[in-house]
Amino acid sequence: MSGTTITSGEYIKHHLTNLTYGQYADGGWGFAKSAADIKEMGFWAFHLDSLAWSVALATLFFFFFRLAAKRATAGVPGGLQNFVEWIVEFVDTSVKESFSGRNPLIAPLALTIFCWVFLMNLMDLVAVDWLPMIAGIFGEYALSMDPHLVFFKVVPTTDPNITFGMALAVFYLMIYYSIKNKGLGGFLSELAFQPFGKWGLPANLILEGISLISKPVSLALRLFGNMYAGETIFILIALMYGGGMVLGAFGGLLQLGWAIFHILIITLQAFIFMTLTIVYMEMAHHEH
């Protein structure tokens, strides 16, 4: 690999930049090598690292749960079956406590969201340099790129495109079931006549419209903000390893402590995303 040294600022920026593939202004396609390239590619560029890890972790979730289902037995369960049954019971209890309607989609949706978000968040506990270093080596020898220009973020939920994608999917389901259960007229009347009745129609539309739009926005930004901040702290702690043995040892202790605490954040953010999804589905199945 190249022996080029980078500053602390460049190190942080490198670890917080996605591996972006898109179309340049001249019509050619390629990998972005700088922030200017990313800006030139615009909105429709692909964050390949976020997409690859989110799909890979979804596949991992599907594989293990399918394996547990195929091996399920009425006798003494194995470790995998016990673990999967514990998660399913936990999610099922959460659904029963927050959702009073009848919809066979809600429990599988909640289970998928909780496990998928948890696995994506869990990538935050991987050492910040390991996978980007591997990606840099691959980029140097397979793509003939400077390894310092191979950006690689390994936590999909630190990418707002991923969190907003999930939030918009939940928002679509909320609108769909609101119209399905209440009718188009019932859904629009909630926006127009609540909470001040028909005489407060303009104020109702503003308040209910803001409330409606804020649901996917807050859902996406809450997850993104917490995970992005956590990843940034890991990167800042990693900088201490280059400050000598004493500072490096102190950084190791800080990293261990933050990782232990971060396990709670990882689980909590997955639980909150799941719970809010269930609550929004509950609202979509009942009158105001």
| Dihedral (CA of 266, 267, 270, 272) sign | negative
Q: Which amino acid is at 47?
A: H
pLDDT by residue, tens only, the chain of 288 residues: 445 567 888 889 889 999 999 999 899 999 898 888 999 999 899 999 999 999 999 999 999 999 999 988 887 888 889 999 999 999 999 999 999 888 999 999 999 999 999 999 999 999 888 888 888 888 777 766 777 678 899 999 999 999 999 999 999 999 999 999 888 888 888 888 777 777 677 888 888 889 999 999 999 999 999 999 999 999 999 999 887 888 889 989 999 999 999 999 999 999 999 999 999 999 998 765
Phi-psi region of 18 (alpha: psi -120 to 50; beta: other; left: phi over 0): beta
Residue among 173, 183, 184, 177 at smallest CA distance from 216: 173
Q: What does the pLDDT read at residue 196? A: 73
Pick the catalytic residue from 103, 181, 189, 222.
Answer: 222
Q: What is the pLDDT of residues 233-286, one digit of tens each?
A: 999 999 998 878 888 899 899 999 999 999 999 999 999 999 999 999 999 987
The domain segmentation of the chain, as residue ranges, is 50-126+157-284
Q: What does the pLDDT read at residue 2? A: 46
pTM of the model: 0.91
Known catalytic membership, residue 226 = yes
Mean pLDDT, the chain, rounded, equals 90
Instruction: Please provide the DSSP assignment of 66-111 as one string.
Output: HHHHHT--SSS--HHHHHHHHHHHHHHHHHHHH--S--TTHHHHHH
Known catalytic membership, residue 218 = yes
